[in-house]
Structure 1
Amino acid sequence: MLLPKQVHFLFLPFFLALNLFAQDKGKVMPFQKIIIAIEQQHQMSFNYTEDLIAGLQCPMPKKSLSLDQKLRYLAQKTHLSFENIGNRFINIYKKENTAPLLCGYVFGAGDKKPIENANISLANGTKIATDFNGYFELDPGEVTAFGVSHVGFVSQKITSVRPDENCLQIFLEPEITELEEIRASAVLASGISKNTDGSFEIKPKKFGILPGLIEPDALQTMQQIPGVNSLDESVSSINVRGGTHDQNLFLWNGIRMFQTGHFFGLISVFNPNLAHTISIYKNGSSAFYGESVSSVVAISSTPETAEKNSFSAGINMINADVYGKYNLSKKSYIEISARKSITDFVETPTYKEYFNKVFQNTTITDFAQKHDVDYHSDKKFGFYDATLKYAQKIGSKDQIVLDLITIKDNLEVFQSATFYAINRSENNVLRQQNYGGNLSWKRNWNPFNTTKINIYNSSYELLGNQKTTNANQTLIQENTVNNNGFNVENNHILTPKFSFNNGYQYNETGITNLEQVTNPDFYRRVKDVLRTHALILEGKYSDTLSRLSLKAGARINYIEKFKKYSLEPRLQLRYGISKSVSIELLGELKSQNSQQIIDLQKDYFGIEKRRWIISNNSTVPIQRSRQVSVNVCYKENDWLLDIENFYKKVNGIITSSQGFQNQLEFVRTTGDYEVLGTEFLIQKKINHFLTWFSYTYNKNNYHFPDYEYPTFPNNFELTHTLSWAAIYEKNNFKIALGTKWSSGRPKTSADVSQIDPSTPVLVYNKPNNTNLHIFSQVNLSATYKWETANGIQYKAGLSILNILNRKNEISEYYRISSLTNSIEEVETFALQRTPNVSFRISL
């Protein structure tokens, strides 16, 4: 690769040559010098008499103009005539025709100042420009009408033209260009805003504070948004409007991420000190986003503006991290981040609470004897993630960006149980990792047209090795995903109010599932590959004066293997009824070809028992969703009131992807779920104090037509959810207190009257016939930042989850124990009181 100085050296002759003709637009030059330069450029000769051009001066015409355009330009400026003989010789003579010329001046309507270089466009395609006085001349014999335009002004068309003793005076009205308007700033906390397209935008570097959070963790933060929940407190099990976690699309700099959580989902894999912009779409996402029937979470770590060199390092009671950005030149920089768990060195109270939640905070009760089974486990656990970005600008129009990310979790657990002097033990190893890379090239052809090309790859691997000591049996499970492709996106600004985007995407996804068992021996390895193509068309209209914003698009998918086409329209419509009240309509149709299933529900590995699979268009159908929502927003005097009603339906789901732990656990059938709900947010800001209250209602039902109970509540239904927070931010001190409350998730009870303890066989009531107890939690967080005289910044933070130490049940199911040959009732609980402390230094 060329060094920056070498690049500048190569471009230097080009700029010197360009300078010969690219003179100051307002600077006049001797006419003879101008025609000599034109002769050299176009390899022709002018014929004239010296007295004809003596003393003449005018601005140099642009080098990019054709020869005929230059001659018309010179004729306008000098009132001379030019006879072109075969583009080889040009005769210059004075006009004998004394017919009056059509002349005019172009001014700005606001300041009445002349507009230089305004475009005068004739019907035959000829264009001329006004001089520094806004003056122009036309031959009236060739003109019936003409247009007048200039960037930043409303164009005019002049239809009544005739020569007159007085020149025309044309006044152009300034055009108001709408910037990317933020519909509501500081939603829930500083650094979080809501855009006109209905998406939520998080700026981690501007992030304030939320209850229980001391860092701007993207996936923890999004759970504060109405309609977004996690029933088991995991960022690896985020449910948006009733959908499962795998139905969400997570993108990091254009790379699809198949792993989103460390430590069994209690920590996000995305370094909170790295991301510059996080966009979250619950509905109405852009047509450029595919492979998702629920939400879209797009994380970009490319800064919007140039930033200075920086370095920071931090530590909390789970992990330590470093971040650095270094500008290699004025046009290139490198950015690195790395994070690693500290569990190899110390077991903090936070770490212990997390492990209790994942493994030990599970009460397993013998259903007949009503007492706990004695389980013990020893464990080794660690994780890390790292990212690299290299960005290089080439000239003034091109930029190349390389992004790399690596994520890994490793766990070793030895588990044993003793009951009636019978001992059973298992030795387990689990490894989960995700690698990704993206190379993008962006070119700004001009201020109105841009092209971006991405080439990406994402590789995911889940490896489980389970050894049962008593049975002398080994079980190896492996799930790998290889996702790669490229996409092209073109952006065109047609007018200040209207823009148009189009593009193409190619994607190849290969998924391999392996199972190997010893004693008895069994081996199975299945690999499936799916290739898809997509054409995208999208238009956006935005008018500040009429308070109307419209974005409509369509995505046309083609799946090679199935030879199937599908059309996915998207819509975002917003109208401002007044300056304070707006109404918004969002709608979308989307599809998804890959999903996660659960083969062995009773594994204690948590979400990692989920395996990615690809649709086969029969027993594993393509998932399709349709959703519409209507939102009303009121914002005035630091009050914010936001109400949104939505309807969502997802077809093509299979029972093994829904996490059933009842009679449907081993049933394989397809169906859909249907959600109808309301999301409400009210917020008030008073000086440094911000408080908000949110409420979500949803009615979420499954429909499996081939099952004996075709309709029943969804596993992820939370009928009522309430959240409240009070936040105070002043100078460098921030503190937040808040609470979460939700009705219990559905569960299936056992039919005790039909169970015989001597021959235990599970008999269930109707699926999801009852609910767990309510979930209630109070959280607190605070941070303080200070800076030394030499510019070094320090930041300390404290958070406490579940201050009241409430015991919240998050799941309950039954199983038959092979150890005791009895029915066990398994209850899982949320985190108990969990403190965390952080410290960070930034240069």
Structure 2
Amino acid sequence: MLLPKQFHFLFLFFFLVLPLSAQDKGKVMPFKKILVAIEKQHQVSFNYTEDIIAGLQCNPPKRSLSLAQKLQFLSQKTQLSFENIGNRFINIYKKENRTPLICGYVFGATDHKPIENANISLPDHTQIATDFNGYFELEQGPATLFLISHVGFITQRITTDHLDTANCLQIVMAPEITQLEEIKASAVLASGISKNTDGAFEIKPKKFGILPGLIEPDALQTMQQIPGVNSLDESVSSINVRGGTHDQNLFLWNGIRMFQTGHFFGLISVFNPNLAHTISIYKNGSSAFYGESVSSVVAISSTPETAEKNSFSAGINMINADVYAKYNLSKKSFIEISARKSITDFVETPTYKEYFNKVFQNTTITDFAQNQNVDYQSDKKFGFYDATLKYVQKIGTKDQIVLDLITIKDNLEVFQSATVYDINRSENNVLRQQNYGGNLSWKRNWNAFNTTKINIYNSAYELLGNQKTTNANQVVLQENTVNNNGLTIENNHTLTAKWSFNNGYQFNEMGITNLEQVTNPDFYRRVKDVLRTHALILEGKYNDTLSRIYLKAGVRMNYIEKFKKYSVEPRLQLGYGISKSVNVELLGELKSQNSQQIIDLQKDYFGIEKRRWIISNNTNIPIQRSKQLSLNVFYKENDWLLGMENFYKKVNGITTSSQGFQNQLEFVRTTGDYEVLGTEILIQKKINHFLTWLSYTYNKNNYHFPDYEYPSFPNNFELTHTLSWAAIYEKNNFKIALGTKWSSGRPKTSPDVSQIDLSDPVLIYNKPNNTNLHIFSQVNISSTYKWETDNGIQYKVGLSILNILNRKNEISEYYRISSLTNSIEEVETFALQRTPNVSFRISL
């Protein structure tokens, strides 16, 4: 017996195939149904007026006939004539007393697609629009003149006298190139980096030139060259934009939020530098479609803007090896894969050794808790990998589906043994960090003016530490997991040549779990929180190339289910060209963030990765909110580029546990804000193949914790002065870059020696961040050379040296009481020593 669903399916299938089979049975049927069947079978389109075929019925032609035979058959059965235009469009006329008409098809010159709603203007002010096939018709008159116009195309003037009315016109419209005369250098800082009208810095890795110390277009290393972007500990997992913490930045890879951004605990970006096609970095004035961030936005897209040929490349350096491949499955689909893995399983290079020493200094791996006199024997096994997959499928001329997958993993295993007071002790440690993500997107171009894009994504992050300590065989298990799901619907509408409007909806669900389990003594704690938010987005853009005005204004309206709270976040980007050489830019935004990273103990996860993600609870962990405004001026003339950005930024709702204190505030839990006032200056000059630039950043960054005894003091991430310089030479396939970075030392807190009893010391501090570390100074160099063989194989070699002067730069300092000597110890952490790197790459 058939199930109801099966019965319904067969019933529907029967009625679907009935009209098709009826064509061959010769039954009389409405003429319009016959035309629809022919359109589907032969992929053609009929143009006619309804009054011509109204009430008309006849026998359908056999399906086995050709298109020409069917048209001849229908012409014999009716009083109609058929004009076949290239087996794509067919015009239908009445045979008798047909008024002479002028007909035509309007196509775009670049894609040869029909242009819908093109405007036909006649001398008597009559207006006619083309249909979805780009077709139009009008009565022929003596020496008729008409204009054809459409947004984005050059208007054409057509004279119809002496035209052949037997055939339709084929009119091809050329696109109108109107570009805002923005202050945009062909290269900012390096080739492949530019400044957009919306205030974003845009990086094209495949066009990337070279920067000091970099031989690959690492997205997160490159962005640190931008004024206002720093990393106080040289880590891509600790990027500070205008005084903010790393977790306050939003990192997106093809629409997927990434919670892990660094390999090797922050020294290498997790984003494969040979994959990304476009990287957009917003310090301020980001689009209303970007939420969950109170600082910068880094949006990485690996979907190419234009079709590309098949390609393959493979490379190796002194840390990792990688492969990349793109293969076109058809004219409308392709697959793209990349994979990268550390080579530390096979060889320990000088680069690896410098990285290892830098990362693991002052951690439990190198005896964080004990006096350094203890002689630990360590066996270490460290490795990482990442892989991505992209599948793109175009469906017809209007739809496209894209699937993106990414996986990232770092794994560290350490077995340690030591003899302390004639007792053998050992540690068996495992630390794993990984991030998986997937995004499925569908995009439809409804017409030349309207587009819809829908994204469904997931990102899963895990940080797991399993440590066996030397203290009575105690085992500590720590786990931090994040599961982020979301849906984004975005609609884009072109209203006129100057105005466009975007609207959309976003749903975001974030679940975060924190687990701590200790044996001897037994302790177990597992906390899971889930937060769901909804956002409605409205955004309009005005771009007038003649008056040199660019305006983009939007608003994001958030609703948090758990707290039943609404918030409204406006965004603004305004640019005005005072002249062809001078441009003024005003950027502003209000943003919020519901998740953050905190540090419970500096020894969590072996002291290597101390931060764990948590969700706001709207009480002692409030929602973070930021407001920022910047006024910028740019000048470009004769290959000179001068830029000055002045900004004000304030972030409310921060917690002391999110700021990484290692002074009297380490165990204090209170909330407050930080406030930054700063200026960023860039001066750049290009002379033929030579490019040089100098940047300076000033910022005054202060905490405000009203419930603490010292309510105001300098921010941990304040670098009052930062100065960078680079000289780059690029000619043909040879590139070399030399540069230096200098900054005033970050704040630190000194102990109040006058109040400490040295016989039984207890740490007593001065006012938080009362002094500073020594000046940071580093000189870097890099060079690449590329050549190509006669058979099209391309080779590229690169060499870089970080800190070529081998300067010992202190990047952090704190104090502790030694359990062995019962004295105050000063613990210093230093930046990388002289670190070389060599790379080789082959591309097909």
Map 1:592-631; keep pairs closer than 5 Å: 592-603=593-604, 605-606=606-607, 608-631=609-632
CA displacement at 1:415 relative to structure 2: 4.7
Corresponding residue for residue 500 of structure 1? 501
Q: What is the TM-score with the length of structure 2 in the denominator?
A: 0.83
Measure, in 1, the Cα distance between the counterparts of 2:619 and 2:501: 37
SS of structure 1 residue aligned to 2:842: strand
1:379 Cα deviation from its structure 2 partner: 1.7
Root-mean-square deviation over aligned CA pairs: 3.8
- Seen in structure 2, the aligned counterparts of structure 1 residues 311 and 42 have a Cα distance that, compared at 3 Å, is farther
The corresponding residue for 2:834 is: 833
Q: Quick check: 771-780 or 462-471, which moved more?
A: 462-471
Question: Against the structure 1 CA distance between its residues 137 and 728, is the aligned structure 2 distance closer, same or farther, given a 3 Å change threshold?
Answer: same
CA distance in 2, matches of 1:339, 1:150: 48
Residues 63 and 235 of structure 1: CA distance in aligned 2, closer, same or farther (over 3 Å): closer
Q: Percent identity?
A: 82
1:532 corresponds in structure 2 to 533
Superposed, 1:183-332 pairs within 5 Å as 183-332=184-333
Residue type at the aligned position of 2:44: N
Alpha-carbon distance, 1:756 to partner: 2.0
Q: Deviations over 1:86-136 (max 9, x none)?
A: xxxxxxxxxxxxxxxxxxxxxxxxxxxxxx974359999984679x9x996
Q: Indicate how the Cα distance of structure 1 residues 514 and 138 shifts in structure 2: closer, same or farther if over 3 A, else same.
A: same
Counterpart for residue 166 of structure 2: none
Q: Following TM superposition, by how much is the alpha carbon of 1:180 offset from its aligned partner in structure 2, in angstroms? A: 7.4
- The superposition leaves residues 188-240 of structure 1 with CA deviations (integer Å, 9 ceiling, x where unpaired) of 00000010011000000000000000000000000000000000000000000
CA contact (8 A) 2:477 2:518 kept: yes
Unaligned runs of 5+ in 2: 1-35, 59-78, 103-116, 157-172
Q: Report Cα offsets for 1:654-676 as digits up to 9, x if no partner.
A: 00000000000000000000000
Q: Go from structure 1 to structure 2 and tell me whether the alpha carbon gap of 1:75 and 1:153 turns closer, same or farther (over 3 Å shift).
A: farther
Residue in 2 that maps onto 1:39: 53
State the match for 1:740 in structure 2.
Answer: 741
The code of the aligned residue for 2:316 comes to I
Q: Pick from 41, 44, 47: which aligns with 1:19?
A: 44
Q: In 1, distance between residues paired with 2:793 and 2:148?
A: 55
1:746-776 CA distance string (max 9 Å, x none): 0000112222233221110000000000000
- In structure 2, the residue matched to 1:113 is none
Q: 1:504 to 1:125 in 2, by over 3 A?
A: farther
Change (3 A) 1:12 1:607: farther
Q: What is aligned with 2:408? A: 407
Over 3 Å counting, the alpha-carbon distance change for 1:75 and 1:554 in structure 2 is farther
Partner Cα separation in structure 2 for residue 732 and residue 656 of structure 1: 49
State the distance in 1 between where 2:355 and 2:365 align. Answer: 19
Say whether residues 1:484 and 2:485 are aligned partners. Answer: yes
Contact kept? 1:785, 1:795, Cα under 8 Å? yes
Answer yes or no: is 1:783 the counterpart of 2:784. Answer: yes
**Alpha-carbon separation, structure 2, partners of 1:475 and 1:522:** 9
Q: For 2:253 and 2:781, how far apart are their aligned partners in 1?
A: 29
In 2, the alpha carbon distance for the partners of 1:528 and 1:641 equals 48
Code of the aligned partner of 1:740: K
1:795-814 CA deviation, whole Å, 9 max, x = no partner?
00000000000000000001
Deviations 1:668-690 (A, max 9, x none): 00000000000000000000000
User: Would you say 1:700 and 2:688 are equivalent positions?
Assistant: no
How many Å separate the matches in 1 of 2:462 and 2:632? 40
Per-residue deviation, residues 446-468 of structure 1 (Å, max 9, x unmatched): 11110000000000000001111
**Cα distance change, pair 418–589 in 1 and its aligned pair in 2 (3 A):** farther
- AA aligned opposite 1:661: Q
The one-letter code sitting in structure 1 at the alignment partner of 2:446 is W
Partner of 1:169: none
Choose 460-469 or 288-297, whichever is displaced more.
Answer: 460-469
Question: Equivalent residue for 1:585?
Answer: 586
Of the structure 1 ranges 575-584 and 173-182, higher mean CA displacement relative to structure 2 is found in 173-182
- Indicate the residue corresponding to 1:108 in structure 2: none
8 Å CA contact retained: 2:650, 2:673: yes
The residue aligned with 1:448 is 449
| C-alpha distance 129-215 of structure 1, shift in aligned 2 (>3 A) | closer
Cα deviation code 1:481-519 (max 9, x no counterpart): 000011100001111111100000001000000000011
Q: Name the CA distance, whole Å, in 1 between partners of 2:407 and 2:365.
A: 37
Matches for 1:398-797 after TM superposition, within 5 Å? 398-415=399-416, 425-603=426-604, 605-606=606-607, 608-797=609-798
CA shift, 1:718, in A, is 0.2
Q: What residue in structure 2 maps to residue 178 of structure 1?
A: 178
CA distance in 1, matches of 2:787, 2:519: 60
Q: What amino acid maps onto 2:450 in structure 1?
A: N
* Kept after mapping to 2: 8 A contact 1:121/1:148: no
Change (3 A) 1:365 1:348: closer
Structure 2 Cα separation of the partners of residues 78 and 125 of structure 1: 16
AA aligned to 2:53 is: E
Q: CA deviation at 1:42?
A: 6.5
Is the Cα–Cα contact under 8 Å of residues 506 and 536 in structure 2 kept in the other structure? yes
Distance in 2, matches of 1:153 and 1:321, equals 44
Is residue 375–residue 415 contact of structure 1 (8 Å, CA) maintained in 2?
Answer: no
Answer yes or no: is the 8 Å Cα contact 2:229–2:240 preserved in 1: yes
Q: Deviations over 1:119-155 (max 9, x none)?
A: 359999984679x9x996699xxxxxx9985445799
What secondary structure, in the 3-state scheme, does the structure 2 residue paired with 1:446 have? coil
Q: Matched residues in 1 for 2:333 and 2:181: separation?
A: 30
* Structure 1 residues 175 and 270, CA gap change in structure 2 (3 angstroms): closer
On the 8 A contact 1:178/1:497 being kept in 2, the answer is no
Which residue identity lines up with residue 21 of structure 1 in the other structure?
F
SS at match of 1:659: coil
**Partner amino acid, structure 2, of 1:225:** I
Cα distance in 2 between the residues matched to 1:396 and 1:790? 35
Q: Report how far residue 426 of structure 1 moved.
A: 3.6
Cα displacement (A) at 1:823: 2.5
Whether contact under 8 Å (1:284, 1:586) holds in the other structure is yes
Gaps (5+ residues) in structure 1? 1-10, 23-33, 45-53, 80-115, 140-145, 157-172
Distance 1:361 1:606, change over 3 A: closer
Partner-residue secondary structure (3-state), 1:696: strand
Structure 1 position 41, deviation (Å):
9.1
- Cα contact 2:478–2:605 (8 A) shared by 1: no
SS class of match (2:819): coil
Q: 1:660 to 1:128 in 2, by over 3 A?
A: closer
What CA distance in whole angstroms lies between the structure 1 residues aligned with 2:675 and 2:49? 75
Equivalent residue for 1:822?
823
Question: Which letter maps to 1:39?
Answer: I
Alpha-carbon distance change, 599 to 123 in structure 1, aligned in 2, over 3 angstroms = farther
Rounded to whole Å, the distance in 2 between the matches of 1:663 and 1:780 is 40
- 1:380 to 1:138, Cα distance in 2 relative to 1, 3 A: same
**Alignment CA distance shift 1:35-1:324 (3 Å):** closer
- Checking the alignment, whether the CA contact within 8 Å between 2:83 and 2:91 is kept in structure 1 is no
Distance 2:824 2:672 in 1: 30
How many residues matched? 751
Tell whether the 8 Å contact from 2:84 to 2:91 is kept in structure 1 after alignment. Answer: no
Is the Cα–Cα contact under 8 Å of residues 692 and 724 in structure 1 kept in the other structure?
Answer: yes
Tell me how far 1:529 sits from its aligned partner: 0.2
Residue identity opposite 2:834 in structure 1: R
Distance 2:630 2:560 in 1: 29
Which letter maps to 1:738?
Answer: G
SS of the counterpart of 1:512? strand
- Residue 411 of structure 2 contacts residue 432 of structure 2 at CA under 8 Å; is this kept in 1? yes
Secondary structure of the residue aligned to 1:184 is coil
Closer/same/farther in 2, CA of residues 826 and 375 from structure 1, 3 Å limit: farther
Q: Quick one: distance in 2 between partners of 1:176 and 1:718?
A: 47
SS of the counterpart of 2:553?
strand
SS in 2 for 1:680: strand
Pick closer, same or farther for the CA change 1:317–1:717 going to 2, 3 Å.
Answer: same
SS of residue in 2 equivalent to 1:223: helix
Do the aligned partners of residues 836 and 118 (structure 1) sit closer, same or farther apart at CA in structure 2, a change above 3 Å counting? same
Task: Quote the Cα distance in structure 2 between the aligned partners of 1:216 and 1:441.
Answer: 29
1:3-152 → structure 2 map (5 Å cutoff): 14=39, 17=42, 19=44, 21=46, 38-39=52-53, 77=100, 118-120=119-121, 127=128, 150-152=150-152
